[in-house]
Structure 1
Amino acid sequence: MWLMSPRGFVSIVRKDCPPDHLLVRARRRQDLEALFPGANIIEGAGTDYRFRAAIPEAEVVGVISRELLDIDYANHKAATKDDELHDAYMSVWSAMARLQDGKPRR
C-alpha cells in the first residue's frame, strides 16, 4: 500500500518483519519520521527503498486512521507544503489521470 499524505510518502508491505508488524518504507527519511516519529529506521538495506522500519500493525493502523481523521483540506496537492513532495505527487496525479476516460480538471 502506498500512503501519500501531505506529511510524507511511504510504502507499507508485509515482509522481512516480525509477526504483527508491517514494513514501512520511504524514499526520504523525513517522510518516515513525520509519519512514524520514534521509529527505528534502518538506512540502506540493499533494496530500492533507502529507509525502512518494522512497525507494529496497530501503530500503522493508528497512523492511517489519524491521517484520515486529520483531513481538513479540499485539495490534497495544495495541502502538501513540501515542494519536492508536491512535485512528486503532481507526477503521480498526472500518471493516474491518464488512466481516466476523458480529460480530468486540474
Structure 2
Amino acid sequence: MEPILRLEKVTKAYRSVPAIQDVDFDLRKGEIHALLGENGAGKSTLTKVMAGVVEPTSGRMIYKGRETTFANPNEALHSGVAMVFQETSLVPSMTVAQNL
C-alpha cells in the first residue's frame, strides 16, 4: 500500500543548525504512530514540517502521490493534514482569524 504521506531525506535547520536531518517517514492509511524522544530531538519540528507550519530546508514531502510543500497550516488543513498543538501557539505568517 502506498503511503498517504512520505518524507524523504527531510532536513530543517535553524540558522544552519539542523533540528532534524535526513528524516525518512511513511504514513499509511489506518496507521498510528508515536514520536518519542528527548527534548530537542526534533519531534515538534518534524510535525511542523508535515503540517505546513515551517518549510523544510531540504528533502521531499510526498502527499497522496504528489510532491508538495504546504505554504502554511491552512493549506495543509485544506488537504486534510492538521496538527493539534500541545500548547497554544500562533503562526506569525497567518492572520488572527486563521490562527483561531
- Normalised by the length of structure 2, the TM-score is 0.28
Structure with the bigger RCO (C-alpha within 8 Å, sep 6+) is 2
Q: Which is helix-richer, 1 or 2?
A: 1
- Normalised by the length of structure 1, the TM-score is 0.28
